[in-house]
Amino acid sequence: MTDLEVMEIAIQEAKTALSKSNFPVGAVLLINKEIIDKSQNQNRELGTLCFHAENSLLIKHSSLIKQAVQGKDFVEIYSTLEPCLYCFAGILQHNIHRLVFSVSDPNVGASSILPYLNDWYRKKNITIEKNILVDTYLPILYEDNKRYNRYDWDKLLALNNRK
């Protein structure tokens, strides 16, 4: 599957999250280009801060990911929004090879901190790609922002080269 096809799946998960009044983030886990699972943010629905889309995949498939990485399989996570520190740390801890996301998060996005972490994290050899289907995901994020006003919208657009 292409990056665009996988991100479309993540975006569908984000739409589902929004329809349940959750923060609209979707994520997809792949091993050797095969989709293993998809997830969405469920924080409001489940009444906890732990069910971020990416972290839910990591928890559910931790053993499988570890096995895949040890077996030299290629592991990727796609997310509609740049992962927060909580999820990014989990992605690094699981030795994920590639992180792909749509929109950079000016509030809590954490992927830019990698160069500032200690050697153990920097040597993880993760590839990070962004700006996949930004214009498809932004309207979904905007709907949530109208309700909860999480973002300075101009700042978010500028960070994502949309202004």
DSSP SS3 for 21: coil
76: annotated active-site residue: no
Of the candidates 8, 13, 54, 82, the residue annotated as catalytic is: 54
Rounded-to-integer distance, Cα 89 and Cα 81, Å = 15
Q: In what order do the strands lie in the sheet with 75-81?
A: 34-40, 26-31, 75-81, 98-103, 127-129
DSSP H or E segment with residue 56 = helix 53-60
Q: CA torsion, points 59, 70, 26, 109, in degrees to nearest 10? A: 90
Distances (CA, A) of 13 to 35, 43, 101, 122: 14, 14, 14, 30
Q: How many residues does the chain have?
A: 163
Active-site residue set: 54
